[in-house]
Homo-oligomer: A and B are copies of this chain.
Amino acid sequence: MMKIGLMGYGKAGKAVANVLANDPRYQLCWVMRRSSSHSAHLEDQPQIPVVGLAGLDMGDWLNQHPVDAIVDFSQADSVYLYGQELRRRGIMLVSAISAYSPEHLDYLRELGRDTRVMSSPNITLGINFLLLAAKLLRGIAPFADVEIVEQHFREKPEVSGTARKIAETLELQDDRVTSLRVGGIVGHHEVIFGFPHQTVRLIHDSIRREAFGTGAAFALQELAECDKGLYSFDDLLLHKIRQHLLSKA
């Protein structure tokens, strides 16, 4: 059973903790967060401690609470706190931070020389598959009309990052993206391929934040089978698919 430490205990972090703590392939050993107030353990899982970063020595902590992988849903700078220990101990990293600067990414790349690192701003399995499938169909049928429609809750301020990412991947102009803000929709993404005599729709619906946890669990499993290096979520998917496709060739 792979031992996991989780950085971050915000809304996404809590959802991920919830998923990993209930996945029989993993043992969630601890959660670390910036402030150390309130509860000192996971809700409903008193054996899993939630500790504050303040005054903590990462080396000591890992000696006493060793893990095989760190999952990071906290903040860009966290990587500097655990990076050297990760490298020295060969701990894997699955990071879902979207706010990395080029410097952060350089640092991750460097870590990738000594251990396995996956970094991706969107770690949802379904969305990443949608991206991949849309890219494939776009490659197969560049003559099809493509429209991207995303629907989210009324308050969401701007075009979803995922929709922009899809447009970018498919090399579509921004005006191919329609954003609708209606009621309390959690997250709906649809890519429509219009052919002269048929239509293909690829649709993803988010139900709740725990989807990040499913993605993290998938990434951990795939990354464990890779060589050292820095990977994106897309790389892991392609890696899996390429094996699959080539083995059938």
- Secondary structure of the A contact surface, majority rule: mixed
Taking a contact as CB atoms under 8 Å apart, the answer to whether B140 and A241 are in contact is yes
Bound-state CA distance A200–B188 (Å) is 10
Copies assembled: 4
Q: How many residues of A contact B (CB 8 A)?
A: 62
Q: Considering only CB atoms, which chain B residue lies closest to A183 in the complex?
A: B194
Q: Considering only CB atoms, which chain B residue lies closest to A176 in the complex?
A: B180
Stretch at the interface among A29-37, A83-91, A130-138: A130-138
Contact with B along A223-249 (1 / 0, CB 8 A): 000000000000001101110111011
Bound-state CA distance A214–B237 (Å) is 30
Q: Considering only CB atoms, which chain B residue lies closest to A132 in the complex?
A: B136
Q: Which residues of B contact A198 (CB under 8 A)?
A: 124-127, 183-184, 204-207, 211, 214
Extra 5 A-B pairs, beta carbons < 8 Å, given A19-B196, A136-B244: A126-B195, A129-B200, A132-B136, A183-B207, A202-B202
Closest 5 CB pairs of A and B: A183-B194, A182-B194, A197-B211, A201-B203, A197-B210
